[in-house]
């Protein structure tokens, strides 16, 4: 089928606000434009953004030539409760806000005339997701047009069971033969022909001296499938494929026969200041930065990844654990996917995820859920078995996993789960009119996060108790790889209890990486570690944020917008503790330095179990002279020394690749950390310097040319710097931006947690001297002129060329 972009020319409005109709291009996140409020019923789960019911309309002509053809719309993601109307008739629905779905249009089109499409996204019943969901058509829309004979969308299945052989299956309607061609950088290297039998074509192709795909060398071939009828090509599908094999057992996880240890990052689906929108450039940028930070794997927590994210992982080399859902039978929030919606839709939604992942070499595991406490109960165990078998029936080439919180399972088995159902006086579960359970008095995800913070290290201790094993054993028996959330304490215990179990640390605390990684290296059946989180995210407001007393003062008391857990912030800034991770993983010998913000010296209120530092990689704190702070040195040496302008704060013994120096007095100049081996020989040193001279506004465009497709993005990194190019971390101020020409301002913001501003206005205050803008190309070629200014800083201009599509 011919696939085309269907993302431009939409009219958008919020139900009840029809007078405010405006034209938008998809993807579009309606939630990010809402006014945040402490009174929002979503509360911290969605970063205090309210939900709503939103309408998208589009007029389009159906050419007469389409009559008799197959016409399909694909929605890659609508949050949520989607209804699709064509010419006033309900044509398609989809409940789950994170799955892609298809809507056939041919029976409702008026050919040769204008047709009216209306899409309703109903996110008015909140809270639902435990994190920032976004609202509306936040992923792309594609139009497929096919003749009497066509290859079905997502009907192509490509596997590489051996490193020199490709197996291809294609579901088709009509046609006599399927021709497959494989290209290497434009050069044809293999070709095969198969007969169509019962609407299915199967063939195998041998590839001589195949170049293999893995995270270090993500080599991609191109494929072209041609459907032939009466000797003519009547349909054609093109794409990329990577040749790689997977195998796993208690001796390890192997890609192409080589053992791989997964250096994993849990991530949520949002793209920081862009909100829930998924753009190819945003997803590629995120994967590039995660790789720069040393990660080789991501866990898509806790919903199916966007197609653009998977394409980025294929292209750049990143292993993916894709995940289905956060709820099955028991609600975690009053209006989430659990119970009635899950029971009715789990097969179609899980099938959509598995089929979406099928041809992506980056996807190495399919996870069927996260922290499902009912795994301790018979019905939950039965669903676990059914779902695992269902996934394998579609795709037996990848292992099935699930992120199990053993503490929750143990509590549920004892009748005291965190998430519960309201019961009547007779102990029976109350139900709504539709038969689903109520959540009137049940604890929600906010309560769970509070408990996690209070419990701290007790979670690991509770996971090690025998009761947790009994509560989870049945569920783990259904999985190929057992995902352990906050349960590294069981890794060695379960070697004897479950000698055939393969384990992955599916969710762990970043501060525990050193201890966890020693176990990963020591125990071959523990194949990796996924920290919560690699990249910070909107929603779950403040669960990892370092709280300062000044957050309660007027002007600083805006509700927190982000989780605060990530070792990379929502704008993609790598935090100092990433250097610690890379030292632990053995990726570097370079010493790192993290400085607790001098602007908050003496202001610390509390830290969380997810993040115990707010360190900044800066020694440029004008106005903070004489204040004392904590400096952390990250080192793989036996000792490290800290010096400020040549004055030593002494040598200290490294513990777990980390040394803390307290009461370090700030003075302008240079701070240096030096690592030494056991013989006292210097291994490496690193320094941070104070910015010199007057403050200068710096604007760095990550790209200088965009494509006129309405989708391409350019990130602008804005810094307040000295004349030497060093960021001034204590001189925050409002920055203004103007965009004109062949593009628009998509977002403007910073990583400030207690943010009283939004991400769509033309002014935003820097955070530790930094801000970020995202420019979106239009659909016409030309130039974009961006003007950035600040009081007393003048105006900086950046020109971005937009080329024809």
Q: Is 434 exposed, middle or buried (0-12, 13-18, 19+ CB in 10 A)?
A: exposed
Q: Is the pLDDT of residue 640 over 60?
A: yes
Give the bridge partners for 23, in sequence order: 11
CATH number of 2-146: 2.60.120.260
Q: Would you state the pLDDT for residue 454?
A: 66
**Position 568 pLDDT exceeds 60:** yes
Q: How many Cα atoms occupy the beta-carbon half-sphere of 438 within 13 Å?
A: 11
Q: Do domains 2-146 and 696-803 have the same CATH topology?
A: no
Residues in CB range of 61: below 8 A, 6 or more apart? 112, 113, 114, 115
* pLDDT(439) > 80: no
Task: Report the SS3 class of residue 60.
Answer: strand
Contact of 644 with 667, CB cutoff 8 Å: yes
What is the domain partition of the chain in residue ranges?
2-146, 150-241, 696-803
What percentage of the chain exceeds 70 in pLDDT? 95
Each residue's pLDDT tens digit, 703-740: 999 999 999 999 999 999 999 999 999 999 999 999 99
Question: Considering all CA atoms of the chain, what is the largest pairwise distance in Å, rounded to the nearest integer?
Answer: 84
- Whether the per-residue pLDDT at 451 is higher than 90: the answer is no
Cα–Cα–Cα angle for 609, 483, 314, rounded to 5 degrees: 100
265-287 pLDDT per residue, tens: 999 999 999 999 999 999 999 99
* Stretch 681-700: mean pLDDT: 98
Rounded CA gap, 452 and 194, in Å?
56
Q: What SS3 state is found at 53?
A: strand
Mean pLDDT over residues 222-251, rounded? 98
What gap in Å lies between CA 591 and CA 588, rounded to an integer? 9
Residue 476's φ and ψ, nearest 5 degrees, are -60, -30
What top-level class would CATH report for the domain 696-803? mainly beta
Give the length of the chain: 805
Q: In which residue are the tokens 């589009």 written?
A: 58
The mean-pLDDT minimum among 406-420, 544-558, 579-593 falls in 406-420
The CATH architecture annotation of domain 150-241 reads: Sandwich (2.60)
CA 579 to each of CA 179, 294, 583, 590, 635: distance values in angstroms, whole numbers, following the listed order: 50, 9, 6, 8, 9
pLDDT digits (tens, 9 = 90+) for 768-795: 999 999 999 999 999 999 999 999 999 9
Rounded to 5°, angle at Cα 329 from 326 and 332: 50
Residue 787: φ, ψ to 5°: -115, 125
Could you read off the pLDDT of 4-47 as tens digits, one per residue? 999 999 999 999 999 999 999 999 999 999 999 999 999 999 99
Q: What angle do CA 422, 424, 427 make, to 5 degrees?
A: 95
What is this structure's pTM? 0.96
Radius of gyration of the chain (CA): 27
Two tokens, residue 371: 């922290």
pLDDT in tens, 137-173: 999 999 999 999 999 999 999 999 999 999 999 999 9
Alpha-carbon distance 731 to 28, whole Å?
A: 34
Burial class (CB in 10 A: 0-12, 13-18, 19+), 805: middle
Helices (H), 415-559: 445-455, 458-463, 466-476, 493-497, 513-522
C-alpha–C-alpha distance, residues 555 and 31, integer Å: 24
């Amino acid at each position: 089928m011919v696939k085309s972009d269907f993302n431009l020319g939409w009219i958008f409005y919020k139900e009840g606000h029809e007078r405010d109709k405006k034209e938008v291009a998809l993807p579009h996140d309606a939630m990010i434009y809402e006014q945040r409020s402490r009174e929002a019923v979503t509360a911290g789960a969605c970063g205090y953004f309210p939900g709503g019911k939103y309408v998208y309309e589009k007029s389009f002509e159906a050419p007469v030539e389409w009559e008799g053809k197959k016409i399909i719309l694909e929605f890659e993601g609508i949050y949520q409760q989607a209804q699709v109307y064509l010419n006033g008739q309900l044509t398609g629905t989809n409940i789950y806000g994170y799955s892609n779905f298809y809507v056939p249009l041919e029976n409702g089109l008026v050919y040769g005339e204008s047709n009216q499409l209306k899409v309703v996204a109903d996110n008015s019943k909140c809270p639902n997701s435990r994190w920032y969901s976004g609202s509306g058509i936040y992923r792309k829309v594609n139009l497929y047009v096919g003749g009497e004979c066509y290859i079905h969308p997502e009907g192509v299945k490509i596997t590489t069971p051996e490193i020199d052989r490709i197996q291809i299956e294609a579901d088709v309607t009509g046609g006599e033969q399927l021709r497959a061609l494989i290209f290497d950088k434009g050069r044809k290297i293999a070709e095969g022909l198969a007969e169509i039998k019962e609407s299915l074509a199967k063939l195998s192709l041998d590839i001589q001296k195949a170049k293999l795909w893995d995270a270090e060398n993500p080599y991609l071939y191109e494929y072209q499938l041609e459907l032939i009828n009466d000797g003519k090509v009547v349909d054609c599908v093109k794409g990329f494929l990577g040749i790689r094999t997977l195998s796993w057992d208690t001796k390890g996880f192997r890609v192409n026969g080589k053992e791989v240890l997964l250096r994993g990052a849990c991530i949520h689906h949002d793209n920081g200041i862009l909100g829930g929108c998924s753009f190819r450039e945003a997803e590629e940028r995120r994967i590039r930065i995660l790789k720069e930070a040393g990660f080789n794997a991501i866990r898509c927590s806790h919903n199916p990844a966007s197609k653009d994210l998977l394409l980025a992982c294929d292209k750049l080399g990143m292993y993916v654990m894709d995940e289905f859902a956060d709820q099955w039978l028991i609600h975690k929030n009053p209006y989430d996917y659990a119970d009635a919606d899950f029971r009715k839709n789990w097969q179609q939604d899980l099938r959509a995820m598995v089929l979406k992942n099928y041809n992506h070499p980056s996807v190495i595991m399919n996870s069927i859920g996260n922290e499902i406490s009912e795994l301790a109960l018979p019905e939950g165990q039965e669903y676990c078995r059914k779902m695992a078998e269902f996934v394998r029936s579609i795709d037996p080439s990848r292992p099935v996993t699930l992120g199990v919180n053993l503490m929750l399972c143990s509590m549920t088995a004892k009748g005291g789960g965190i998430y519960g159902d309201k019961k009547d006086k007779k102990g029976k579960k109350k139900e709504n009119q539709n038969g689903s359970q109520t959540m009137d008095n049940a604890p929600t995800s906010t309560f769970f996060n509070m408990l996690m913070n209070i419990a701290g290290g007790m979670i690991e201790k509770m996971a090690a108790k025998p009761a947790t094993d009994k509560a989870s054993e049945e569920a783990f028996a259904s999985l190929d790889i057992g995902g352990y959330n906050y349960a590294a304490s069981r890794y060695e215990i379960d070697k004897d209890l479950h000698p055939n179990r393969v384990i992955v640390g599916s969710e762990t605390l970043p501060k525990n990486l050193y201890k966890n990684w020693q176990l990963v290296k020591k125990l071959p059946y523990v194949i990796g570690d996924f920290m919560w989180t690699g990249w910070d995210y909107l929603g779950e407001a403040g669960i990892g944020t370092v709280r300062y007393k000044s957050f309660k003062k007027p002007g600083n008391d805006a509700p927190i917008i982000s989780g605060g857990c990530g070792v990379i912030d929502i704008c993609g800034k790598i935090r100092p503790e990433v250097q610690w991770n890379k030292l632990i993983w053995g990726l570097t010998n370079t010493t790192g330095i993290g400085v607790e913000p001098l602007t908050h010296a003496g202001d610390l209120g509390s830290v969380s179990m997810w993040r115990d530092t707010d360190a900044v990689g800066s020694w440029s704190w004008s106005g903070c002279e004489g204040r004392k702070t904590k400096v952390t040195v990250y080192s793989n040496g036996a000792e490290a020394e800290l010096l400020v302008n040549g004055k030593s704060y002494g040598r200290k013994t490294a513990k777990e690749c980390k040394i803390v120096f307290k009461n370090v007095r700030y003075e302008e100049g240079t701070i240096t950390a030096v690592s030494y081996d056991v013989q006292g020989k210097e291994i490496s040193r690193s320094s941070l310097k104070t910015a010199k001279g007057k403050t200068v506004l710096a604007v760095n465009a990550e790209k200088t040319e965009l494509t006129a497709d309405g989708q391409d993005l350019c990130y602008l990194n804005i810094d307040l710097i000295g004349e030497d190019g060093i960021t001034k971390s204590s001189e925050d101020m409002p920055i203004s931006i103007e965009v004109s020409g062949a593009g628009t301002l998509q977002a403007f913001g910073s990583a400030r947690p207690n943010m009283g501003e939004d991400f769509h206005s033309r002014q935003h205050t820097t955070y530790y001297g930094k801000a970020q803008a995202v420019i979106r190309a239009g659909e016409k070629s030309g130039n974009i002129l961006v003007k950035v200014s600040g009081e007393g800083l003048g105006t900086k201009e950046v020109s971005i060329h937009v080329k024809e599509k």
